[in-house]
Structure 1
Amino acid sequence: MAGLVARLRLAERLAPGWLVVQVLGTLVLIATVGTAKPTPMWVWLLYVSSLACWLLWLVVDSWLPRTSLLLLVAASALPALAVGASTDSTALIMLCVVLGRLATLSTVSAAVIVAVTFLNAVVVVASSLAFGGSASLAFGSAVACVFVMLVGMHPRHYELQAVRSRELLEQTRLAQQEHARAAALDERARIARELHDVLAHSLGALGVQLEVAEVLLTDKGDVAGAVERVRRSRRLAAEGLAEARRAVAALRADVAPLAEAVAELAEQHRTNHAVDIDVITEGEPRFISSAATVALLGTVREALTNAAKHAPGASVTLALSYQVTGIRVDVRNAPPNRVVVAGDEVGGFGLTGMRERVALVGGTLATTPTDDGGWLVTVEVPE
Structure 2
Amino acid sequence: MNKRAIFGETGWLGRAMTSAVAIGVLATARPAEPWVWAVVGAGFLAFLAGTVLMTLRPYWALGLLAYAAVSSALVTGVSGSNALVLVLVSITDIAVMAQPWRNRPIIAVGISCAVAYGISAWWWDRTDTWYLSQLMWTAILIAFGLNRRQYEVQARQTAQLLEQTQLAQQEHARAAALDERGRIARELHDVLAHSLGALTVQLEVAEALLAERNDTVGALDRVRRSRRLAGQGLVEARNAVAALRSDEVPALPSALAALAEQHVVDHDAEVTLTSSGTPRPVASGITVAMLGAAREALTNAGRHAPGQPVEVELDYRDGLRLAVRNPCAAAPVGEGFGLPGMRERLALVGGKLEAGPDGDGWLVIAEVKDA
Both structures adopt the same fold (TM-score exceeding 0.5)? yes
Partners of 1:351 and 1:242 lie apart in 2 by: 21
Q: Structure 1's 167 and 202: CA in aligned 2 closer, same or farther, altered over 3 A?
A: same
- Name the structure 2 match of 1:319: 313
Contact 1:205 1:272 in 2 (8 A): no
Structure 2 residue 184 is the aligned partner of structure 1 residue 196? no
**2:281 — aligned with what?**
287
Unaligned runs of 5+ in 2: none
The residue number in structure 2 matching 1:19 is 12
Cα gap change, 1:192 to 1:21, in 2 (>3 Å): closer
Instruction: State the shift of 1:99 in Å.
Output: 2.5
Contact 2:256 2:291 in 1 (8 A): yes
- Kept in 2, the 8 Å contact 1:81–1:123? The answer is no
What is aligned with 1:100?
92
The aligned amino acid for 2:114 is V
Aligned to 1:53: 46
Measure, in 1, the Cα distance between the counterparts of 2:190 and 2:90. Answer: 74
Tell me the equivalent position of 1:3.
Answer: none
Q: RMSD between aligned alpha carbons?
A: 4.1
Determine whether 1:369 maps to 2:363.
Answer: no
For residues 102 and 182 of structure 1, the distance between their equivalents in structure 2, rounded to whole angstroms, comes to 46
Matched length: 362
Instruction: Tell me the CA shift for residue 185 of structure 1.
Output: 1.9
Change in Cα spacing, 1:292 to 1:231, as seen in structure 2 (3 Å) is closer
Change in 2 beyond 3 A, CA 1:215/1:127:
closer
Task: Indicate the residue corresponding to 1:119 in structure 2.
Answer: 108
Q: Is the 8 A contact 1:254 1:290 kept in 2?
A: yes
Residue 134 and residue 154 in structure 1: after superposition, are their counterparts in 2 closer, same or farther (change >3 A)? same
Residue 283 of structure 1 deviates from its aligned partner by: 0.8
Q: Secondary structure at the match of 1:382?
A: coil
- Matched residues in 2 for 1:371 and 1:66: separation? 83
Aligned to 1:256: 250
- Distance, in Å, in 2 between the alignment partners of 1:72 and 1:271 is 95
CA contact (8 A) 2:206 2:223 kept: yes
2:60 matches 1:71 = no
Question: Residue 54 and residue 268 in structure 1: after superposition, are their counterparts in 2 closer, same or farther (change >3 A)?
Answer: farther
3-state SS, counterpart of residue 83 of structure 2 = helix
- What whole-Å deviation, never above 9, does each CA across 1:23-77 have from its counterpart, x for those lacking one? 2322333455553504485x65543443232232244344323333443344333
Alignment map for 1:186-225 (pairs within 5 Å): 186-200=179-193, 202-203=195-196, 206=199, 223-224=216-217
1:339 deviates by 7.0
1:233 CA drift (Å): 1.4
Please list the CA deviations of residues 56-103 of structure 1 after superposition, one character each: whole Å capped at 9, or x if unmatched.
2244344323333443344333323444x5434633211111223344
8 Å CA contact 2:239, 2:249 repeated in 1: no
Rounded Cα–Cα distance in structure 2 between residues aligned with 1:244 and 1:63:
64
Which AA in structure 1 matches 2:370?
A: P
Aligned to 1:136: 129
Distance 1:270 1:72 in 2: 94
SS of residue in 1 equivalent to 2:278: coil
- Cα offset, 1:152, TM superposition: 3.8
C-alpha distance in 2, partners of 1:269/1:201?
17
CA distance in 2 between counterparts of 1:242 and 1:287 reads 21
Deviations, residues 148-175 of structure 1 (Å, cap 9, x unaligned): 2333455555554544444444334333
**Which residue of structure 2 lines up, in the alignment, with residue 378 of structure 1?**
366
Asked if 2 retains the 8 angstrom alpha-carbon contact of 1:358 and 1:381, the reply is no
| Partner SS for 1:231 | helix
| CA 179–305 in structure 1, closer or farther in 2 if over 3 Å, else same | farther
Aligned to 1:171: 164
| Structure 1, unaligned runs of 5 or more | 1-8
How far 1:254 moved relative to its partner? 0.6
SS of alignment partner, residue 182 of structure 1: helix
User: In 2, are the aligned partners of 1:298 and 1:354 still within 8 Å (CA)?
Assistant: no
Q: Deviations over 1:296-342 (max 9, x none)?
A: 33444455556667x56476543321025x222234555461675xx
**In 2: Cα distance, 1:318 partner to 1:98 partner:** 87
Letter of the aligned partner of 2:315 in structure 1? Answer: S
| Paired residues of 1:125 and 1:139 also in contact (CA < 8 A) | no
Question: 1:188 Cα shift?
Answer: 1.9
Give a deviation string over 1:224-278, Cα, whole Å, max 9, x none.
3541341341343255246425632553211121211222233334544555544
Q: Within 1, Cα distance between the matches of 2:70 and 2:347?
A: 67
TM-score for both structures, normalised by structure 2: 0.76
Alpha carbons 1:197, 1:301 under 8 Å: kept: no
Offset of residue 284 of structure 1: 1.3
CA distance in 2, matches of 1:211, 1:304: 23
Q: Is 1:182 the equivalent of 2:175?
A: yes
Matched-pair contact (CA < 8 Å) for 1:318–1:331: yes
Q: Distance in 2 between matches of 1:182 and 1:353?
A: 25
